[in-house]
Structure 1
Amino acid sequence: MGWMAFTTLFIFWVWVYQVRLWLAIILQDASFSDFDGFMHTVFFTQEGWIFLTIGTCAGAFLSAVLFSVTVVAMPMLLERDVDFVTAMLTSIRVVRDNPVVMLTWAAIISATILLSLVPAFLGLIFTLPILGHTTWHLYQRAVQPLEDEPISAS
Structure 2
Amino acid sequence: MSLESVQAFLAVHAPDLPIIDQGASTATVALAAEVLGVAEGQIAKTLAVKVGDERFLIVMAGDARLDNRKTKDSFGARPRMLPAEEVFELTSHPIGGVCPFGLAQPMKVCCDVSLKAFDEVYPAAGSRTASVRLTPARLAALVDAPWVDVSQPQIVTVE
| TM-score relative to the length of structure 2 | 0.23
Larger helix proportion of the pair: 1
Larger RCO, structures 1/2 (Cα 8 Å, 6+ apart): 2
Pick the structure with greater CA Rg: 1
| TM-score relative to the length of structure 1 | 0.23
